[in-house]
Structure 1
């Protein structure tokens, strides 16, 4: 089977079943195993002043191991690849986590804060309903790229080994790709590799949101908003989502008790938002997923 045919079935399997919690109650999720590998290398190598070189070595070990394991597992046949690819995609679980924020907000402000705290790293203790909704929508857009479109893209390019390499790099970036005294140097290689691997998928995700939503004509405005984001990639799906549902995203938010003044994305959109806007973003997630499914189907048929 071609990569596209396998991915097509994996996308459908993930959308239909999502995460089998009963299985992960008995076995560690592959993402957990990847996190343990990153943590072990960080503990073992991040000890000297030459931590940039140590970080490069750690990344090389992780990428080599991920590629080798992916190639080994791919050799077990299409069924194994379909199951593993479905496990490493995250459309259904993403939708469930974001929907939980809307459902929580409908119950109470505290329920909304508790739900959004599960998917964002910023301070949630003093968020108002609009801040909670913005956080959920931003997370939805960014994780659509990181958790669905990018893994699918790299599977199409390089099969299961490509998907495994992307996931280990993305996991490493999420753990050590921070500008803190401990990780500034050691995590630089992981952060730069993640930026590189997400460059095309982030813009593809932007198009998958913008085109079916009828806002592709705003591409230059989307690009201008995306350029204001701290990340070279995350701003693209976020800016497209802001235009697609006519809301303003980003803006001021607190990290570690410190309020930071980030620029607005889609600043002409609504700023007083809540569960209905989260629901609208969820519909865009499925619309973008459907577009990716259609592209994958076309590639499978051509293949």
Structure 2
């Protein structure tokens, strides 16, 4: 029941207050650490770059694990408060909704600006339909990365699992690029993120099945473009019945997405989040899953 209380309080914090201030946000700390170490390593050759990138990832992960182990050593009220704070920092339900809502606009300039805040691709050349697609894709992918996965690892391994996942996911977002600078330096972070997301991405698809039935499974079989990230996008495309496309990378069939489909996607998002939150609460309450203490 103690772990359940921490989970419910963290969830309440997220829904009512959203994200902590950037200066006090552990995920921001992970990113700052990775960025600091990244800038100080002058690229040399594949093997030294890979070793250096691996060491950077391990330093950030160890820091995240160290943070997660502090609460039990503090006096009870303070320890619980810190556990709630750290757990909340590992997932982002409300803020993801808020970011995607900003993309629902008829002003193409404002839409480009809003979409550019949640995707890495260049939005300047995208038409309205592809901007709508990018917003929905980001919502679907981040539903896995920002909600399903961190809470799954909390369910299985307690606070250390949630913060470790968030640290690795942050490392991948910062270093996991296939370009000259990060091809080898970020490889360990990217592969570790792939490993940790393998099960959550497919679990996310299962949560969509209650909403889209066999169509979700049909689209899942089409998702052969990437190891993990295309699976939640395929499921969202199936439920909405719209095409989602990153030109030259992947495309899922359907009609052209409009602003109204972003609204529908957000409704689907909240349904899937509700399924997952209720599932976690029930599993923690019944003790079916041996979650470690936060």
Q: TM-score, normalised by structure 2?
A: 0.89
Match of 1:256 in 2: none
Alignment-derived partner of residue 243 in structure 1: 238
2:80 alignment counterpart: 78
In structure 2, what is the equivalent of residue 111 of structure 1?
110
Report the secondary structure of 1:90's partner residue.
coil
Alignment of 1:92-241 (within 5 A): 92-102=94-104, 105-106=105-106, 108-211=107-210, 213=211, 215-228=212-225, 231-241=226-236
Deviations 1:214-272 (A, max 9, x none): x23235422222212xx3111111000001111110142xxxxxxxx23311x1x112x
C-alpha separation in 1, matches of 2:159 and 2:203: 20
Q: 1:13 to 1:160 in 2, by over 3 A?
A: same
Please give the secondary structure, in 2, of the residue aligned with 1:232: coil
Aligned-partner Cα distance in 1 for 2:241–2:161? 35
After TM superposition, give the deviation of residue 199 of structure 1 in Å: 0.9
Task: Verify the 8 A CA contact 1:66 1:168 in the aligned structure 2.
Answer: yes
Q: Closer, same or farther in 2 for the Cα pair 1:17/1:28, shift >3 Å?
A: closer
**Deviation per CA, 1:75-120, whole angstroms, max 9, x where unpaired?**
4433321222123311100001101101xx23x1111111111111
Is contact 1:14-1:92 (8 Å) kept?
A: yes
How far apart, CA to CA, are the structure 2 residues paired with 1:80 and 1:251? 40
Cα separation, partners in 2 of 1:250 and 1:43, compared to 1, 3 Å: same
Native 8 Å contact 1:226 1:234 kept in 2: no
Structure 1 CA distance for aligned equivalents of residues 203 and 7 of structure 2: 17
Post-superposition Cα deviations, 1:148-184, rounded to whole Å, max 9, x if no partner, equal: 1111111112211111111111111111111111110
Conserved 8 A contact 2:134-2:246: no
- Alpha-carbon separation, structure 1, partners of 2:220 and 2:71: 39
* Alignment counterpart, residue 274 of structure 1, candidates 234, 258, 275: 258
Instruction: Flag structure 1 segments of 5+ consecutive residues without an equivalent.
Output: 253-260
Deviation at 1:2, TM superposition (A): 4.4
C-alpha distance in 1 between matches for 2:68 and 2:165:
11
SS for the counterpart of 2:112 is helix
**Which whole-Å CA distance do the structure 2 matches of 1:75 and 1:45 have between them?**
35
**126-135 or 286-295, which deviates more:** 126-135
**Greater Cα offset, 42-51 or 92-101:** 42-51
1:89 aligns with one of 81, 86, 91: 91
Q: Distance in 2 between matches of 1:74 and 1:225?
A: 46
